[in-house]
Amino acid sequence: MQIEQIYTGCLAQGAYYITSNGEAAIIDPLRETQPYIDRLQKDNVSLKYIFETHFHADFVSGHLDLAKKTGAPIIYGPNATCEFECVSAKDNQIFELGKIKIKVLHTPGHTMESTCFLLIDENGKDTALFSGDTLFLGDVGRPDLAQKAADMSQEDLAGLLYESLYNKIMPLADDIIVYPAHGAGSACGKNMMKETVDTLGNQKKINYALNQPDKQSFIKAVTEGLLPPPAYFGMNVAMNKKGYSSFDEVLHQGMIALPAEAFETAAESTDTLIIDGRNDKEFARSFIPQSVNIGLSGDFAPWIGTLIADVKQPILLVVEEGKEKEAVTRLSRVGFDNVIGYLEGGFASWLKAGKETDSINRITAEQFSLKIKENESKIIDVRKESEYAAEHVENAYSKPLAYINEWIRDINPKEHFYLHCAGGYRSMIAASILQARGYRNFSEIEGGYNAISKTDIPKTDFVCQSKILNQF
Question: What are the extents of the domains in the chain?
Answer: 2-234, 245-352, 362-468
Taking CA 224 as the corner, what is the angle to CA 218 and CA 227, rounded to the nearest 5 degrees? 135
- Indicate the pTM of the whole model: 0.92
* Residues 200, 206, 212, 215, CA torsion sign: negative
Q: Domain 362-468, what fold?
A: Oxidized Rhodanese; domain 1 (3.40.250)
Tallying the residues shown for the chain, one arrives at 472
Taking CA 218 as the corner, what is the angle to CA 214 and CA 222, rounded to the nearest 5 degrees? 175
The answer as to CATH 2.70.98.10 being correct for domain 2-234 is: no
d(CA 145, CA 57): 8
Asked whether 341 and 254 are in contact (CB, 8 A), the reply is yes
Report the candidate in 442, 446, 463 with the shortest Cα–Cα distance to residue 454. 446
Name the DSSP letter for residue 412.
Answer: -
Distance of CA 440 to the CA centre of its chain: 30
d(CA 378, CA 455): 18
Please classify residue 323 by burial: count the beta carbons closer than 10 Å to its beta carbon, then call 0-12 exposed, 13-18 middle and 19+ buried.
middle
User: Which string of DSSP letters, residue by residue, matches 155-167?
Assistant: HHHHHHHHHHIII
Encoded amino acid at 318, one letter: V
CA distances from residue 131 to 104, 117, 330 in whole angstroms, order as listed: 11, 7, 24
At residue 373, the pLDDT reads 73
Name the DSSP letter for residue 158.
Answer: H
At residue 191, the pLDDT reads 81
Asked whether 418 and 380 are in contact (CB, 8 A), the reply is yes
Q: 362-468: same fold as 245-352?
A: yes
Q: Which phi and psi angles does 173 have, rounded to 5°?
A: -65, 145
d(CA 393, CA 418): 11
At residue 83, the pLDDT reads 93
**For residue 171, how many other CB atoms are within 10 A of its CB?**
7
The CATH-assigned architecture of domain 245-352 is: 3-Layer(aba) Sandwich (3.40)
d(CA 304, CA 314): 13
At residue 227, the pLDDT reads 83
CA distances from residue 386 to 137, 183, 359, 398 in whole angstroms, order as listed: 20, 18, 31, 10
**For residue 164, how many other CB atoms are within 10 A of its CB?**
24
Report the candidate in 318, 322, 321 with the shortest Cα–Cα distance to residue 343. 318
At residue 29, the pLDDT reads 97
* Residues 185, 246, 273, 256, CA torsion sign: positive
Per residue of the chain (472 residues), give pLDDT as tens: 999 999 998 899 999 999 999 999 999 999 999 999 999 999 999 999 999 999 999 999 999 999 999 999 999 999 999 999 999 999 999 999 999 999 999 999 999 999 999 999 999 999 999 999 999 999 999 999 888 777 899 999 999 999 999 999 999 999 999 999 999 988 888 889 999 999 999 999 999 999 999 999 999 999 998 888 888 999 999 999 999 999 999 999 999 999 999 999 999 977 899 999 999 999 999 999 999 999 999 999 999 999 998 899 999 999 999 999 999 999 999 999 999 999 999 999 999 999 999 999 999 999 999 888 766 679 999 999 989 999 999 999 999 999 999 999 999 999 999 999 999 999 999 999 999 999 999 999 999 999 999 999 999 876 655 455 445 6
d(CA 42, CA 107): 34
| Bridge partners (DSSP) listed for residue 13 | 8, 182
